[in-house]
Amino acid sequence: MTILRIAWDLATALRIADTRNFPISTEIAAALVEVQPGHMREIHWHPNADEWQFYIAGKARMTVFGARTNSRTFDFRAGDVGTVPKAMAHFVENTGDTPLRFLELFRAPRFMDVSAMDGADAARIGAGASRHRPRIARGVAQGEAADHVTVRPFTAPHT
């Protein structure tokens, strides 16, 4: 099996397994994401499935955007599980001093995402991405979360 490797720059990379390189995987697609300290997986969304995440190593902060001005931010560490509903924009920051590694899992035959970094009309279907990765400052404004919850699904606030 050949793993599709997508590297935007030296700071962020994905290794994708889906029906294109693992034909028997007709109901699941996955990506191993690696993000170096001080960098992020850019704002993006998945048009074909909910995303489940399993954090393998490092520390992360994910922000998920709901309708209008609603958003939620969650902190993760190795062993945590997160979810993002289909088509909700989100980004993941490496807030630690070591590389961040996590799995993105989808109940779909193909890995698909649309990146805000690619422009309004550029849908990325498992390949290609922006070469201009924004750099973030770790721990700015929010600091560390006061409590740690193992499973943090996104839920839209009641208005």
The answer to whether residue 103 sits within a structural domain is: yes
- Whether residue 159 lies inside any domain: the answer is no
The answer to the question of residue 18 being in a domain is: yes
3-state per-residue secondary structure call for 84-126? ECCCCCEEEEECCCCCEEEEEEECCCCCCEEEHHHCCCCEECC
Tell me if 132 is assigned to some domain: yes
| Catalytic residue list | 104
> What's the structural domain count of the chain?
1
Q: What is the pTM of this model?
A: 0.72
What is the per-residue pLDDT for 117? 72
Query: Which CATH number belongs to the domain containing residue 47 in this structure?
Result: 2.60.120.10
- pLDDT tens profile 68-85: 778 999 999 999 999 999
| pLDDT confidence of residue 69 | 78
Rounded to an integer, the average pLDDT of 53-72 is 93
Out of 21-25, 77-81, 109-113, 115-119, pick the least confident: 115-119
Higher-scoring residue by pLDDT: 128, 55? 55
